[in-house]
Structure 1
Amino acid sequence: MTSYERPTAQGLHLVQDGAKTAPPVLLIHGSGAAGSTWEPMVPGLADRFRVLRVDLPGCGRSSAPATYAVPDQADRVAAVLDELGLEGVAVVGHSSGGYVATALAERRPELVGPLALISTGPSMEALLPQPAVVKLLSGAAVGALVWPLRTDAMIRKGIAAMAARPVAISDEVIDDLRRTSFTAFRAIMRENSDYIAELSIPQRLARLGRRPLVIFGDADPRWDPESAHDYDVVPGSRVAYLAGVGHVAMLEAPAEATRLLLDFLG
């Protein structure tokens, strides 16, 4: 497997794996995360695809934007695809990365081919009470004080709180998560909430005529697992559950999640 990375004209950090001549698939991470969180799934995908991973604006190794609005994030991702000369790209979004993927399809439909969403909450009504460590790190007052003092163990604990299975978290992921500022994280979370409050993801996809694959862990502690069936209103959508998996399938069940994607992408 060949891996190469580069900054882009948009200031987004991009890593590519697999043959440049293979069909492209774009992996978009969730709130405050980074492209490195997809690493466990990359080998299984790169055998058949040119795997693209971006760090979204203000996350990981990408530069901070003027605004974190979801459509604006999608525009910067679109500019990266334009720079690479790609269209009809298979797009996979994890958690709020699914919002950016949806906005990309809304704004530049010609760039997006098959669309898959992993653990993407459909609306604010599906949000569950969050684990204590997550509330601590994301709270406006305490979070601002704790965020700069996070130890590796605290970051790992925060990720593990989103999982239902034991997870292995690489040092690269920890380093990338450290790069995201508290200000950026809070702004991203606020803009994500505004985006789905305006119109739910199933409503947006139905309006677009998209037929997504929706993957949920049946033990997701962030979004009500039953809310995956909110996507049933999207004609042609497919919902798949991962048994005993929480919110971070790429870390908890990378082989299972990869198989579902490969079947979907054909």
Structure 2
Amino acid sequence: MDAFLGVGLPARLFATPGIGNLLGAVRTDGMIRATPGSAFTREAGIPGRLVGDVRGMTYQNLTGTKRASTAYLPERPLPARLTALGLPSLVLFGGTHKRWPPSCVDEYRPVPGCRVEVLPGIGHTPMYEDPATTGPLLHDFAPGNGGG
């Protein structure tokens, strides 16, 4: 978590008590699409289903999810969790990630059985930003297709 670069202004405002409650009550689909903006490096369409799922969550559920993930990550680093599983792993890391510096990917390289792919020009959400690259990587990694 020490390397975390942060999130954009809409997400910070939404997490602010009072202001966030108000934003939650009046948020539009456009606001929901803008909130994860710091996750994207490329222009990427956020599917309507994802917007609908977020719209269906209460303010308390959304902020509680954020608090839970913020508490989860420092408990035990993700590379240590992967090592303990002892399973083949695939880490797709955006080379122009806005939330984590590119050097973070090096923490996954020592994990046994872990394949690390750095995707140039991609941010936090490769499946939305470049599905044409991400899809084949996931397909090839899946059991029965030569991976996993």
State TM-score, norm by structure 1: 0.50
2:128 alignment partner in structure 1: 251
Deviation per CA, 1:69-100: give whole Å up to 9, x if none. xxxxxxxxxxxxxxxxxxxxxxxxxxxxxxxx
Q: CA deviation at 1:159?
A: 3.1
Call closer, same or farther: CA 1:199–1:262 in 2, change over 3 Å: same
1:179 corresponds in structure 2 to 56
- Indicate which of 103, 109, 114 corresponds to 1:226: 103
List aligned pairs for 1:1-266, cutoff 5 A.
124-265=1-142, 266=145
Q: Check conservation: 2:7, 2:38, Cα contact below 8 A.
A: no
Q: How many residue pairs are counted as aligned between the two chains?
A: 143
When normalised by structure 2's length, the TM-score is 0.86
Query: Any conservation in 2 of the 1:218–1:246 contact (CA below 8 Å)?
Result: yes
Q: Please, which runs of 5 or more residues in structure 2 have no aligned partner?
A: none
Percentage of pairs with the same residue: 34
**Is there any run of 5+ residues in structure 1 with no aligned partner, and where?**
1-123
Runs of 4+ in 1 over 4 A off after TM superposition: none
- 2:141 partner SS: helix
SS at match of 1:233: coil
Quick check: which one's strand share is greater?
1
Q: Which has the higher helix share?
A: 2
Aligned-residue offset at 1:238: 1.1
Match of residue 41 from structure 1: none
Provide Cα deviations, 1:128-170, integer angstroms capped at 9, x if missing partner: 1221122112233421221121112211222333211111223
- Cα RMSD for the two superposed structures: 1.7
Structure of greater relative contact order (alpha carbons < 8 Å, 6+ residues apart)? 2
